[in-house]
Amino acid sequence: MRRLLVSAGVFSLLLATAAPTMATPPDESGRVVRIELPFGVAYEDAAEGLVALGGPPAELGCFGEGFEDVPHQGVVMPNGVVNLLVKDVDQAFYIYEASSIDEVCDSVYAGNIPEPIFTGSARVVATDNDAFGAGRNTNSWGSSTNGTVYDAEGNPWHFNAAIRLQFSETRGFRIVHEHINLVNLGG
């Protein structure tokens, strides 16, 4: 799950520390917590042979380094569940030819730094309807990304990617969808 949201666990820990009674409705209902934490996202599309890393390039990100702080917002719902929202309007992206994030990072760990085939920036919105996994309903989380990246020749491409995951007591864990799309804007 390291590829989903780098900061979700840190946010949860800080939110719990800042408000130890947060899970007791309705006393904390409606409380909003805002904090800046390191953040990054990653997407893989094995069918297309693409991996997109948002945040630092692979040579830093695979080691958990180089992530920039971005605003996180948590809202306590009446049932005590915490909804999480993260927005980064200008996150750097590096897109690699690979079948998985592990393939990219294994290459980095071996000392072979892969060259991205696209670089650029994009707007990222990440959400989690139950940041602590405390509710009894389906927990759904993920992110969507839209922006412009450039190939090695400097040609612009529209880039969008998304991942949505769910966990429920009846269905277990599943990836609802994950994709990376690139459209050449250069003609």
The tokens describing 95, both together, are: 């897109």
pLDDT of residue 27: 61
The tokens describing 147, both together, are: 């922006």
* pLDDT-flagged residues of the chain (< 70): 1-27, 135-136, 187
- By CB atoms closer than 10 A (0-12, 13-18, 19+), residue 55 is buried
Residues in the chain: 187
* CA dist., res. 38 & res. 69, Å (int): 4
Segment 83-119, tens digit of pLDDT: 999 999 899 999 999 999 999 999 999 999 999 999 9
The amino acid that residue 64 corresponds to is: G
User: Residues with Cβ < 8 Å from 4, sequence gap 6 or more?
Assistant: 41, 42, 141, 142, 143, 163, 165
Which pTM does this prediction carry? 0.82
